[in-house]
Amino acid sequence: MKIKIFDRKMLALPYALFMVLFVVFPLLVILYYGFTDGSGHVSFDNLVNFFQSSKTVGTLLYSLFIAVIVTAVCLLIAYPVAYILAKGEYARKHAFLLVFVLPMWINFTLRITAMKEILNVLEGNLAYYPFFNTILCMVYDFLPFMIMPLFNSLTKLDNSLMEAGADLGANKWQTVFKVVIPLTIPGIVSGITMVFLPAMTNYVVLDMVYNSTYIMGSLIGSYFSSYDWNNGSLISAILLMFIGLFTIITDRLMSTDETGRR
């Protein structure tokens, strides 16, 4: 009879321990403070006050507005770039992709500082165009996260499908909208997920380009800096709910698209 000294399932223990310590436990702490009052009693007053306050609801809507614009601009720029990189006749297309992805390797603060200095030279005073500068800097920061999943989806796209569309009488634009885009929906959804959610909370850009308005990340930071853990945790929990809902919707879209293609 052989005695197992080592089981391959034990390899999962470090990962499970990491998940418990750095994911599950922090989430429980957020939920505890978000749905309790200052005395530690269970309370939904924080949730009610959040949706009754014009400041917090307005901040949520403004964050969604910024995230939608940033995501849309990134998608409009990234899709043609990814298509050219994936389908262009280049000997070293991955080298060109590296040029677009390379900024991701540079520290975020350095990138925004460099963009800030460029805008400062062009505009003279960043306070003149705070909203435009915010969108521009966020697009500059998140654009590689949109290009990568689109490039991967377009690379896997069989060229014979586009040739078949042309043989059936479709012009170039009809081929793009009726063949290419529907088949690359998983990449589009992945790119939107990677850009939309961070854009809702990236308040560092607003601070660096002198945008005095608040987004959800700014609001969370203001509560925690004033030691109001209850309201700060509640807003974090609300964002987690948004993330969960967004993930469910995108998963359904991808599942529906995969079923339709089958």
pLDDT digits (tens, 9 = 90+) for 206-222: 888 877 778 888 888 88
Instruction: Given CATH 1.10.3720.10, say whether it is the number of domain 54-261.
Output: yes
Q: Give Cα 97 to chain centroid, integer Å.
A: 20
Q: What is the pTM of this model?
A: 0.81
- pLDDT at residue number 200: 87
Spell out the domain ranges in the chain: 54-261
Q: Tell me the per-residue pLDDT of 111-160, one tens digit each, with 9 for 90 and over.
A: 888 888 888 888 777 778 888 989 999 999 899 899 989 988 888 887 77
One-letter amino acid identity for 175?
T
Q: Tell me the per-residue pLDDT of 40-95, one tens digit each, with 9 for 90 and over.
A: 788 888 888 888 888 888 988 999 999 999 999 999 999 998 888 887 776 566 67
Of 257, 240, 191, 237, residue with least CA distance to 50: 237
64: CB partners within 8 A, 6+ apart:
200
